[in-house]
Amino acid sequence: SLIEPTQTMSNFSSGPPQGMGGAGFGSPQGGGNAPDGRKRGFDQVGAGGQEGEKPQTYFKLMMSNKDAGTIIGRGGKTIQAIQTKSGSRVKVSNASDYFPGTECRVVAISGAMPNVGQAVAAILQEVFQDAEKLQAQAGEPPRETITTELLIPDMSCGLVIGKGGENIKSLQERSGARIQLTAKEKQAGGTQERILTVIGNIQQVTAGADAVLTKIYEDPKCQYMNTSTKYDGSEGGGGGGGGGG
């Protein structure tokens, strides 16, 4: 059974995770806390982190309340395992703390780029692949396609789409997923992020998310201006650029 979490977990780090494949889903680097003991993460560490540390990569997904509960798990065990396995930090917004204009909670991931890719893959597997196994055990037909929604910085949209749509076409061809950018006028105002929808089977969606993560960090200027999970004016700003790894 699922729990509705009220707290997010602290940072965890570990050794190399089990292989997930994909260009951005390589072996982890970094992780853990900053040298002075402060938690590294969305509200405090920007693109360069502490002196001598690898640049931080940030990535966000949107999930329903049910799927957010799946990611956190009973007593926070699942999110702790994802963080330990990937070496990244994973933060989930509190129940009813939604991305503006939606009823979806925000999952924010930080770490070196390979670690972040590992966490994205683990999250998608936890939400979709494991759910398919339960459906099969219950005698229900598996879903042919799944949909996940990413949140990308406004300033990365041109890079993702490309001239005449050539970049997004390439991302779709490489992953096999259908990737669609939500029109800005169809989103609630007041944020500097856009919803990017990825549709396909579990392998295609995972590959699509990987391809998008890699693409947006081709340009160091593509940064999340809000690196927290909050959108009520109390969020931490700045940072979020640079692809580590």
Which tens digit of pLDDT belongs to each residue from 1-40? 333 333 333 333 333 333 333 334 433 333 333 333 333 3
Q: Read off the pLDDT of each residue in 119-141 and give the average, rounded to a whole number.
A: 77
Beta strands in 34-145, from DSSP E residues, in sequence order: 57-63, 89-92, 105-111
Pick 184 or 39 by higher pLDDT. Answer: 184
Q: Are 194 and 222 in contact (CB under 8 A)?
A: no
Sheet arrangement for strand 57-63? 89-92, 105-111, 57-63, 146-153, 193-200, 178-181
Distance CA 159, CA 216 (A): 7
At residue 10, the pLDDT reads 33
Summarize pLDDT for 135-175 with one digit per residue, the tens: 566 666 666 789 999 999 999 999 999 999 999 999 999 99
Quick one: which of 88, 23, 17 has its CA closest to 59? 88
* pTM for the structure as a whole: 0.73
Q: Are 107 and 68 in contact (CB under 8 A)?
A: yes
Helix axes 202-216, 166-175, angle to 10 degrees: 140
